[in-house]
Structure 1
């Protein structure tokens, strides 16, 4: 089986797919991972063949996230169309080089769905968050959790509406590059050309979000795809010394989010840490926090592998990306989510519902006093016990093995179907 995996975005959008690629390769399949060149080192460090995607996508994403005004964000977004079109060509180039039987792709990899149609190949959408409609909860990018059954299901139309933004680029790609007919601007990306559903693999744990009872069999929750890097990483001596000098600290980091207001955000966090009396490790990420003077009970670093760092923490405070959320729970740590955008409020709500953390605090209203209350709630014995129990269950899962099994099954169905058609 030849599998092309395509994804783009921040680290949390790429790292799980490296784990999946490793598992597919270990099962004897030929695999390549198409993602921006900024992640090429990570891909190849794990001995996965890399397929080129221009880094302009990643650079523009970082610039948009770092923009300090809405006007600047709008100006930057004007450049997305041409960059998206170039990314579609990169996906097509990778497909021609590998000649895959199966395409596995993140929804942000906009070309793979159309390339599968062109090649007549099997395809599977793969995501760390649910996009299949259900009455049980709204689409994760909708901030309200009080819509009710039929409105929850209706909210998933947002996926088609979001896809319409890039319909000009994707239809240009379909017609001029692939020789396919154009699609309606509001075509459902979760449907194939024959109207059947695209199989979907969701890489999160049912111990945090159980699989909805009204989902079709094509939508499966596999468990998380964790990429372990602890054995490849040596901590700085200063970090090791800090950890050994006292009780486990609280982790605070906002990943690729929020370079704007980095100084004031760090000041808020430092004030909260001082009020709690806890030790803390602060991760700057892409610049979400900046501090020039630190008290002795706080250590700041750019980043560290979550599978190494989180087990050494007492609790984790972060933006609520799916990867960070699952990594914290895997380590059995109570979680405080301070969301910026997208699906982050959704995961904050799931953390609250599971009893492994407090009510999420939106970044736009974050205060030191709120963060103090949240950290104290997270460190309370009932929440710590619940987080430890959930962590034990998540560590017992093998999400990548389940994903490989489902991909192989889909390839087998696809092969049998084509064999009948050729007979």
Structure 2
């Protein structure tokens, strides 16, 4: 079942205040904070342009969406979401996808259920995180012509054989022939993805009167009317095997989301010594005790100060020394320009924050697109990569020492920060999003495409 929160602009049972006017844009996303925030920023921008917007998110994220002033639908319960985050397999590169998928299965019909309640004359379109594309496609059983736009936060999720840097933690060298890469993807999908996802998905599609699909990721790539990247083409150029409808975009800049100031405690800490190293395993990671233990040991070897950022304090060492400050949350757009380096999991939002601020990065990937993001940042000369399964204090110390002392890294960080500063702004990206949603004759070009 879905729950409607703050939807004063929408009355699905009674005709709707926007019937015959603006189409309703349903913005669907799930995941941790890094998956939610870009869609919140886009939704706010669309609302400010006079668009009718309604977000669909897990109930756990409803307070954040409501605080941003966006009407929303929710699915699931806080308890179920907490159980998902508490599962250590969530951060296993082979098992994590199954944990996520099984959490979504009970709610595959949520978007379909809502759209079925809309008056037939009320127009709607869907902007969705790729993980909810199967949910959006199910809604075509009640709206066969439903326009679905998939917005990809990271290039790894497009599963290209032409631009395949990694297969999980396994690096794929440039010399590996395309047919071998295609065979590797086939092995991954048929061995690990399809057996987990297809039984549940095809059962839901059958109940909705839709035909079964043979391959999960092929369905995800083919179902959207349009696909677009929420990353710039210089970060990952369009690959030949991406959807034909794909259009490039840009990272979603924080904009008004970065109005928060640093806490007084954080301000005081920053002012009391050298620039610290910031450590975070991601907002949703609750199983990073080994990560923080290694970080503390590496800091002692380096003689550096640090800030540990995690809302889950139970995974921190029992007692932190005075040169290490814990913060549950911190606005990275304000913090990172004052940091010596950032050690993080390789989430695309955190990676972009560090690129934007010109901060050297040590990326410690656990699962998902994190491996690919780490290698892309490394190729640009702004990062080192230390696989989570190989994590040790000695390796962390060695990699950080190189990052902090390298003039080449400093120059590369400054160059990329300038590139991002001179790149497209949020209005340009919103133009791209509206073009994808409403299909005008042409879309504006990216001034930094090359």
TM-score range, shorter chain: 0.7 to 0.9
Deviation at 1:350? 0.8
The superposition leaves residues 259-295 of structure 1 with CA deviations (integer Å, 9 ceiling, x where unpaired) of 3361x43221111112222221111344584122222
SS in 1 for 2:53: strand
Name the stretch that deviates more: 265-274 or 279-288: 279-288
Q: Quote the Cα distance in structure 1 between the aligned partners of 2:67 and 2:421.
A: 24
- What corresponds to 1:340 in structure 2? 366
- Against the structure 1 CA distance between its residues 155 and 117, is the aligned structure 2 distance closer, same or farther, given a 3 Å change threshold? farther
SS in 2 for 1:126: strand
Q: Quote the Cα distance in structure 2 between the aligned partners of 1:114 and 1:80.
A: 16
Deviation at 1:237? 2.0
Cα contact 1:339–1:345 (8 A) shared by 2? yes
- Against the structure 1 CA distance between its residues 366 and 207, is the aligned structure 2 distance closer, same or farther, given a 3 Å change threshold? same
The superposition leaves residues 124-160 of structure 1 with CA deviations (integer Å, 9 ceiling, x where unpaired) of 1112112445443227654332233333355554568
Name the stretch that deviates more: 164-173 or 153-162: 153-162
- What corresponds to 2:393 in structure 1? 368
Structure 2 unaligned runs (5+)?
1-22, 442-450
Q: Quote the Cα distance in structure 1 between the aligned partners of 2:257 and 2:397.
A: 30
Q: Quote the Cα distance in structure 1 between the aligned partners of 2:67 and 2:112.
A: 24
Cα contact 1:139–1:155 (8 A) shared by 2? no
- Against the structure 1 CA distance between its residues 222 and 191, is the aligned structure 2 distance closer, same or farther, given a 3 Å change threshold? closer
Cα contact 1:280–1:299 (8 A) shared by 2? yes
TM-score by length of 2: 0.80
- Against the structure 1 CA distance between its residues 25 and 96, is the aligned structure 2 distance closer, same or farther, given a 3 Å change threshold? farther
SS in 2 for 1:138: coil
Structure 1 unaligned runs (5+)?
416-423
- Match for 2:135 among 97, 101, 111? 111
* Cα RMSD, aligned residues only: 3.2
Name the stretch that deviates more: 290-299 or 147-156: 147-156
Deviation at 1:217? 4.9
Q: Quote the Cα distance in structure 1 between the aligned partners of 2:436 and 2:104.
A: 28
Q: Does 1:389 align with 2:415?
A: yes
Q: Quote the Cα distance in structure 1 between the aligned partners of 2:397 and 2:55.
A: 42
The superposition leaves residues 184-239 of structure 1 with CA deviations (integer Å, 9 ceiling, x where unpaired) of 3557224557xxx7421111233433333665652222111133466553433221
Name the stretch that deviates more: 47-56 or 139-148: 139-148
- Match for 1:298 among 324, 332, 338? 324
- Against the structure 1 CA distance between its residues 402 and 361, is the aligned structure 2 distance closer, same or farther, given a 3 Å change threshold? same
Q: Quote the Cα distance in structure 2 between the aligned partners of 1:126 and 1:60.
A: 27
Aligned length: 405
- Against the structure 1 CA distance between its residues 151 and 137, is the aligned structure 2 distance closer, same or farther, given a 3 Å change threshold? farther
Q: Does 1:173 align with 2:204?
A: yes
Deviation at 1:339? 1.0
Cα contact 1:222–1:400 (8 A) shared by 2? no
1:15-164 equivalences in 2 (<5 Å)? 15-55=37-77, 58-65=81-88, 81=102, 83-96=103-116, 101-109=124-132, 110-116=134-140, 118-119=142-143, 120-130=145-155, 131-132=157-158, 134-138=160-164, 142=168, 143-146=170-173, 147-157=176-186, 158=188, 162=193
Deviation at 1:66? 7.1
Cα contact 1:258–1:288 (8 A) shared by 2? no
TM-score by length of 1: 0.84
Cα contact 1:260–1:288 (8 A) shared by 2? no
Deviation at 1:102? 1.5
